[in-house]
């Protein structure tokens, strides 16, 4: 033990005597291990940890399906949910939750709360408990029972100061008194969505056609998902036969609960982990090259030690110890760096991660970092250690201390490491190029609406204060006029579902009594909406004051729906039915990419708000300058009409549009940043190798210059070596990139994985960096003094 400690002290002492080498190596290792540890800490918290529920392996998600639909809708109706539970022996518990908006009024300002409406047994199915009070009982779900609510843990802390005496108090929810019966425990998964403020028993929406529940079920002991799925298929077939109007083509698909919750995040997180893994490989190759150069510089030392009886094993042990000291020091710094990088990753990821707030550098993450350190030490030491087998140490001793930089073995090994760095860097740069190309093309897509200098906000009207359509319509009209009259506002309008906001209201379309077989998005619009967003009318007329509640039902359709329903004739004057109501088409509008530039234009049908008055509406204003500067005036106007109405989801349309592209932007920035780091490491590795070779060939260059060779020929020699190495690396990297690019296919918009522009640009960038990295060693070769070089030899 004492001997090992002595060798370790000597290793540290040797590294301290060469601080530049040591600091560069430690910083490089810290960057590589820090990036990998940070991404792994996110992967571990989000994907690898067991779900925080009782017996999580028995939890499954139930997704509603429809024949002909490429993806499950994900939602079920309450009656279907009850029938599935009753008719499936393999499921012992099943519950559902639907989110809605409610105004919560207590001692503070009105809160536009997100309410989770749950079916009986939902909390018991998932395994959630109350930290104060109780959860809803069966009696609380009866329509005649007094209204009760359960506070979300975050609401309890932020709104009520985590007071235990809040249980039993009365608040107002949508203008109705409700008793707080409990506080739900903290759920790090935030299922079914982040931001639920209160939980309430579901007492309505009992129609089979009202599909709005996200379902979760618990399997019986020793029952597999496949067995439970077979039982559910039998029940679904029976419901299709008994209720053809509502359940035709409907079914349910079971998925593992953890996959349903974390599934959308798997591919992006593993992409990040793969990219940081490539950076780690480049770092290992770079460190190996630095150690190779250091080994060559210590050729005389190794020769003397070999002459004194030191074997190759002892020399390799010293190299391994020095590498271990460097890697452990860099790893320790990398772990500290990883804590900051992980927080930054979670903060900047566009979609909040499930359990993102639990990301930390725990024991498992530290274990991963130590394992990476061990692998890095072995990989980085391998080639220098093998070089000791190739080196004839007694010959080195006779050489009088001359550097072995010109050794063919060491030159070949260093060149191979540089080629590997260039190849791996090529994979990252090509990936970044493809993602950047995809993002640029996405940014150029016209969404069909004007977004600059537009501010939007949503209002939800309590039914108790606004029980009739006329009451709601009166407020909407007054508010629209008051907003349009504000100084700095050019136009104002209102719509039930705002483009780019993610909301939708879709139903089947019927033409002449026959189903069209498509679902159309329905929107109710007020005066000024189309003008505010610059949505052009292509044919027919728009809505006017005469299209009120007493007038015949009229609608506008977008050009996509008009072409689908009436491909060879005009849509004007045709009849169309949706949500059980028939309308006359009076106009055709240009299409809007409602769900963002990456999604196709949906089929849309618009109705005047006077004929379809919703208890919620989103208002949009066009301003002369910064729209957020008018937010205080907008709030004042709303409160002058109703002081208990909070503004919901306030955002500019530019912000909403940017949000629809945030995933593509984040991936391009992440891979681009890592490719930049890879380029810097590869350039440093190439520069270091060439500088090492130029130093070792100083005598050769001196002789050549003494014999009449000019500096330009020597520069061409060094640059040619750099171009050759870079060319080999790029050839390998190109092959690797073509294979790896398939993994990016799901992340690309209107961009092929074989896009030639991305590949050519990447190859050009890498070759320019290679030439730039070689330029300084090349100039040094041209400035070699022949006399001095020969005198040193």
What is the mean pLDDT of the segment spanning 624-630? Answer: 93
SS3 category, 228: helix
Does 589 or 388 have the greater pLDDT score?
Answer: 589
pLDDT at 322: 78
**Mean pLDDT computed over 538-545:** 93
Tokens of 703: 């002789």
- Poorest-pLDDT segment among 16-30, 127-141, 160-174: 16-30
Residue at 16 is within a domain: yes
3-class DSSP string for 101-125: EEEEECCCCCEEEEEEEECCCHHHH
Q: What is the pLDDT of residue 39?
A: 93
The answer on pLDDT for 23 being more than 80 is yes
d(CA 275, CA 40): 12
Q: What is the pLDDT of residue 547?
A: 92
CA distances, 476 to each of 455, 466, 618, 633 (Å): 17, 11, 10, 17
Q: Which of 213-227, 382-396, 759-773 has the lowest mean pLDDT?
A: 382-396
pLDDT in tens, 79-90: 888 888 888 899
Same domain, 191 and 268: no
**Res. 694: pLDDT tops 70:** no
| C-alpha span between 605 and 726 (Å, rounded) | 58
Indicate whether 470 belongs to any domain.
yes
Indicate if the pLDDT at residue 71 is higher than 70: no
pLDDT, one tens digit per residue, over 408-434 is: 445 677 778 888 889 999 999 999 999
> Do 545 and 613 sit in the same domain of this protein?
yes
Residue 776 reports pLDDT greater than 90: no
Burial letters 287-305, b for 16+ CB under 10 A, else e = bbbbbbbbbbbbbbbbbeb
Same domain, 480 and 571: yes
Whether 63 is covered by a domain: the verdict is no
Instruction: Specify the DSSP element, H or E, that contains 479.
Output: helix 469-484
Q: Is the pLDDT of residue 302 over 70?
A: no
Stronger pLDDT, 400 or 228, i.e. the higher one: 228
Based on the fold, state whether residues 231 and 169 are members of the same structural domain.
Answer: yes
Mean pLDDT of 538-561: 93
Alpha helices in 215-256, H assignment, sequence order: 225-242, 244-247
Q: Which of 94-103, 204-213, 627-636, 714-723 reaches the highest mean pLDDT?
A: 627-636
Q: Which of 623, 643, 663 represents a domain boundary (last residue)?
A: 643
The DSSP-derived string for 580-638 is TEEEEEEEEE----TT-TTSPPPPEEEEETTTS--SEEEEEEEESS-GGGGHHHHHHHH
In a domain, 742, yes or no: yes
Residues 20 and 141 in one domain: no
Note whether 660 and 631 are same-domain residues.
Answer: no
Same domain, 204 and 317: no
Q: Which of 643, 670, 704 is the last residue of a domain?
A: 643
The total of structural domains in the chain comes to: 4
- pLDDT grade, residue 391 (50/70/90)? very low
pLDDT confidence bin for 450, thresholds 50/70/90 = very high
Residues 580-607, mean pLDDT to the nearest whole number: 92
Q: Which of 595, 620, 643 is the last residue of a domain?
A: 643
Mean pLDDT over 711-727 rounds to 77
Segment of 306-310, 603-607, 715-719 carrying the highest mean pLDDT: 603-607
Residues 149 and 25 in one domain: no
- Note the pLDDT of residue 37: 94
Which range of residues forms the domain containing residue 725? 405-446+655-793
Task: List pLDDT tens digits, range 313-345.
Answer: 666 667 777 778 888 889 899 999 999 999 999
Residue 460 lies in a domain: no
| Residue 458 domain flag | no
Q: Which of 350-364, 712-726, 751-765 has the highest mean pLDDT?
A: 751-765
DSSP 267-326: HHHHHHHHHHHHHHHHHHHHHHHHHHHHHHHTHHHHHHHHHTT--HHHHHHHHHHHHHHH
Closest CA to 618 of 443, 483, 465, 425: 483
The answer, yes or no, to whether residue 519 has pLDDT greater than 90, is no
Provide the pairing of β-strand 111-118 with 198-201.
parallel
Q: What percent of the chain has pLDDT over 70?
A: 86
Instruction: Tell me: do 191 and 228 sit in the same domain.
Output: yes
Residue 543 domain flag: yes
If asked whether residues 504 and 610 sit together in one domain, one would say: yes
Question: pLDDT by residue (tens digit) across 648-681?
Answer: 889 999 999 998 888 888 889 889 888 888 888 8
**The dihedral sign for the CA sequence 379, 380, 381, 387:** positive
Residue 56 lies in a domain: no
CA distance 747 to 741: 10
pLDDT of residue 405: 47
DSSP 138: G
Of the candidate ranges 174-188, 251-265, 302-316, 707-721, the one whose mean pLDDT is the lowest: 302-316
pLDDT-derived band at 262 (thresholds 50, 70, 90) equals confident
Residues 123-151 have a mean pLDDT of 91
In this predicted structure, the answer to whether residue 206 has a pLDDT above a threshold of 70 is no
Average pLDDT over residues 278-285: 89
For the cut 80, the answer to whether the pLDDT of residue 480 exceeds it is yes
Same domain, 77 and 189: yes
pLDDT bracket for residue 307 (50, 70, 90)? low
Assigned token pair, 387: 């070089």
For the chain, give the mean pLDDT: 84
Same domain, 27 and 129: no
């Amino acid at each position: 033990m004492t001997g090992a400690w002595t060798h370790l002290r000597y290793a540290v002492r040797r590294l301290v005597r060469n601080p530049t080498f040591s600091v560069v190596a430690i910083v490089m290792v810290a960057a590589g291990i820090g990036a990998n540890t940070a991404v792994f800490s996110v992967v571990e918290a989000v994907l690898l940890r067991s779900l925080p529920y009782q017996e999580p392996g028995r939890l499954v998600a139930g997704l509603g399906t429809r024949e002909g639909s490429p993806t499950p809708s994900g939602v079920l109706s309450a009656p279907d949910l009850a029938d599935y539970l009753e008719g499936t022996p393999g499921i012992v518990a099943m519950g559902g939750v639907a989110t809605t908006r409610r105004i919560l009024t207590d001692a503070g300002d009105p809160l536009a709360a997100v309410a989770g409406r749950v079916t009986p047994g939902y909390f018991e199915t998932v395994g959630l408990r109350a930290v104060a009070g109780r959860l809803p009982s069966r009696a609380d779900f009866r329509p005649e029972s007094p209204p009760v609510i359960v506070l979300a843990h975050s609401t309890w802390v932020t709104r009520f100061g985590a007071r235990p005496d809040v249980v039993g108090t009365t608040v107002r929810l949508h203008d109705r008194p409700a008793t707080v019966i409990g506080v739900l425990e903290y759920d790090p998964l935030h299922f079914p969505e982040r931001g639920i403020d209160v939980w309430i028993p579901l007492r309505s929406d009992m129609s089979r056609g009202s599909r709005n529940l996200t379902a979760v079920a618990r399997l019986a002991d020793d029952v597999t998902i496949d067995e439970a799925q077979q039982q559910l298929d039998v029940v679904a077939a029976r419901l299709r036969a008994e209720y053809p109007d509502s359940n035709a083509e409907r079914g349910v698909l079971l998925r593992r609960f953890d996959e349903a919750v974390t599934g959308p995040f798997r591919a992006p997180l593993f992409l990040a982990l793969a990219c940081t893994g490539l950076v780690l490989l480049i770092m290992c190759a770079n460190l190996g090259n630095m150690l190779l150069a250091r080994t060559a510089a210590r050729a005389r030392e190794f020769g003397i030690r070999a002459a004194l009886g030191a074997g190759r094993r002892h020399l390799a042990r010293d190299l391994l110890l020095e590498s271990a000291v460097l890697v452990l020091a860099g790893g320790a710094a990398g772990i500290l760096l990883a804590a900051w990088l992980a927080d930054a990753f979670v903060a900047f990821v566009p979609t909040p991660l499930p359990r993102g707030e639990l990301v930390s550098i725990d024991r498992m993450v530290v274990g991963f970092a130590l394992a990476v350190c061990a692998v890095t030490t072995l990989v980085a030491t391998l080639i220098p250690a093998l070089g000791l087998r190739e080196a004839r140490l007694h010959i080195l001793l006779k050489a009088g201390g001359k550097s072995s930089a010109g050794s063919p073995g060491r030159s070949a090994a260093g060149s191979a490491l540089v080629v590997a760095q260039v190849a791996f860097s090529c994979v990252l740069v090509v990936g970044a190029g493809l993602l950047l190309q995809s993002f640029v093309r996405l940014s150029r897509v016209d969404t069909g609406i004007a977004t600059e200098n537009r501010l939007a906000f949503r209002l939800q009207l309590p039914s108790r204060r606004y029980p009739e359509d006329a009451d709601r319509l009166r407020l909407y009209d007054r508010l629209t006029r008051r907003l349009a009259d504000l100084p700095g506002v050019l136009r104002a309008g209102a719509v039930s579902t705002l483009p780019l906001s993610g909301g939708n209201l879709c139903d089947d379309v019927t033409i002449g009594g026959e189903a069209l077989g498509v679902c159309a998005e329905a929107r109710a619009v007020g005066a000024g909406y189309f003008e505010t967003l610059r949505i052009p009318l292509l044919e027919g007329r728009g809505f006017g004051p005469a299209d009120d509640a007493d007038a015949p039902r009229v609608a506008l359709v977008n050009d996509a729906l008009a072409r689908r329903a009436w491909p060879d004739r005009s849509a004007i004057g045709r009849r169309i039915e949706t949500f059980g109501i028939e309308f006359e088409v009076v106009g055709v509008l240009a299409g809007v990419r409602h769900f963002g530039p990456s999604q196709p234009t949906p089929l849309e049908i618009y109705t005047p708000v006077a004929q379809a008055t919703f208890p919620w509406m989103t208002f949009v204003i066009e301003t002369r300058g910064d729209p957020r500067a008018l937010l205080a005036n907008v709030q004042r106007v709303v409160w002058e009409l109703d002081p208990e109405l909070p503004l919901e989801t306030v955002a500019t349309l530019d912000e909403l549009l940017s949000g629809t592209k945030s995933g593509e932007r984040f991936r391009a920035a992440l891979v681009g940043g890592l490719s930049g780091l890879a380029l810097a490491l590869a350039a440093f590795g190439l520069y270091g190798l060439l500088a090492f070779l130029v130093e070792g060939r100083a005598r050769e260059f001196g002789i050549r210059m003494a014999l009449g060779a000019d500096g330009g020929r020597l520069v061409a020699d060094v640059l040619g070596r750099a171009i050759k190495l870079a060319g080999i690396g790029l050839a390998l990297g190109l092959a690797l990139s073509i294979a790896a690019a398939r993994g990016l296919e799901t992340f690309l918009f209107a961009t092929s994985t074989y896009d030639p522009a991305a590949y050519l640009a990447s190859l050009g960038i890498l070759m320019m960096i290679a030439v730039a990295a070689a330029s300084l060693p090349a100039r040094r070769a041209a400035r070699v003094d022949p006399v001095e070089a020969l005198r040193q030899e």
